[in-house]
Amino acid sequence: MMDRRKKDIVELTNCSLSQYRSLEKLPVALMADNVRSMYNVGAMLRTCDAFKVSAMIMCGITGVPPHPEISKTALGAEESVSWRHVDDAVAEAERMRSEGWRICVLEQTHNSVPLQDFESEPDERYLLVVGNEVKGVDQRIVDMADIVLEIPQAGVKHSLNVSVSAGIALWQMCRWMLASRQDQR
């Protein structure tokens, strides 16, 4: 018979905070462009921790730790994930591009690529940009993007919560990267 007992906290613990900080991170960074909700920021930090994302960049009005609403959803990930705040998302995206990062925007455009069709290139670093809950990603960043990714949706609603979207996209990107690393072995 299959064991379906829930795991306890000891069984769920992967590593300590210091061990996590020393782990090799995936070549993905997440940029939050003017995200209003502190709960969304905390949820994205927690997702970054789960997928070993190299950094989270909070831009513009996006809140930063320490903040009680961020802590409520981050559950400590604000301590494990490398993060920083910059005022200007466009300038930061341009700077990262000049350092060799490929700019991936999660947005609905006329020529966006369905997320399930994304395949990472070996030895590339990716900046995934997600945007404001109402206005989305700044059009100037969309215009400079190497790729615009879209999560296909079949329901009445045309969008998902930004932290949910970021989680889905990061999962897909990390899945491809881990698979391509396996293929290289």
Are 112 and 79 within 8 A, CB to CB?
no
Q: Confirm whether 85 is domain-assigned.
A: yes
Q: Confirm whether 145 is domain-assigned.
A: yes
Interatomic CA distance for residues 57 and 41, integer angstroms: 10
Predicted local confidence at residue 155, as pLDDT: 94
Q: Percent of the chain, pLDDT > 70?
A: 97
Is the pLDDT score of 37 beyond 90? Answer: yes
Interatomic CA distance for residues 11 and 181, integer angstroms: 27
> In terms of DSSP H, where are the helices of the chain?
9-12, 17-22, 38-50, 68-74, 77-80, 89-98, 139-144, 162-184
Predicted local confidence at residue 182, as pLDDT: 66
Interatomic CA distance for residues 7 and 43, integer angstroms: 22
Q: Confirm whether 61 is domain-assigned.
A: yes
> Is residue 41 within a helix (H) or strand (E), and if so which, with residue range?
helix 38-50
Task: Kindly report, residue by residue over 105-127, the tens digit of the pLDDT.
Answer: 999 999 999 999 998 888 899 99
| The pairing of beta strand 83-86 with beta strand 53-59 | parallel
Range of the domain at 121: 20-184
Q: Confirm whether 11 is domain-assigned.
A: no
Map tokens 């070993």 to a residue: 52
Predicted local confidence at residue 178, as pLDDT: 82
Q: Confirm whether 3 is domain-assigned.
A: no
Predicted local confidence at residue 76, as pLDDT: 96
- Our count of domains for the chain comes to 1
Are 48 and 22 within 8 A, CB to CB?
no
CATH number at residue 93: 3.40.1280.10
Residue 156 DSSP one-character state: S
Predicted local confidence at residue 98, as pLDDT: 98
The candidate with the shortest Cα–Cα distance to 163, out of 95, 96, 69, is 69
Are 62 and 35 within 8 A, CB to CB?
yes
CB atoms within 10 A of CB 99: 9
Q: Confirm whether 56 is domain-assigned.
A: yes
- Using alpha carbons only, what angle is made at residue 146 by residues 142 and 148, rounded to the nearest 5 degrees? 55
Is the pLDDT score of 185 beyond 80? Answer: no
Q: Confirm whether 7 is domain-assigned.
A: no
Q: What is the pTM of this model?
A: 0.95
What does the mean pLDDT of the chain come to? 95
Task: Kindly report, residue by residue over 49-91, the tens digit of the pLDDT.
Answer: 999 999 999 999 999 999 999 999 999 999 999 999 999 999 9
Are 55 and 84 within 8 A, CB to CB?
yes
Task: Kindly report, residue by residue over 133-184, the tens digit of the pLDDT.
Answer: 999 999 999 999 999 999 999 999 999 999 999 999 999 999 988 887 666 6
Q: Confirm whether 5 is domain-assigned.
A: no
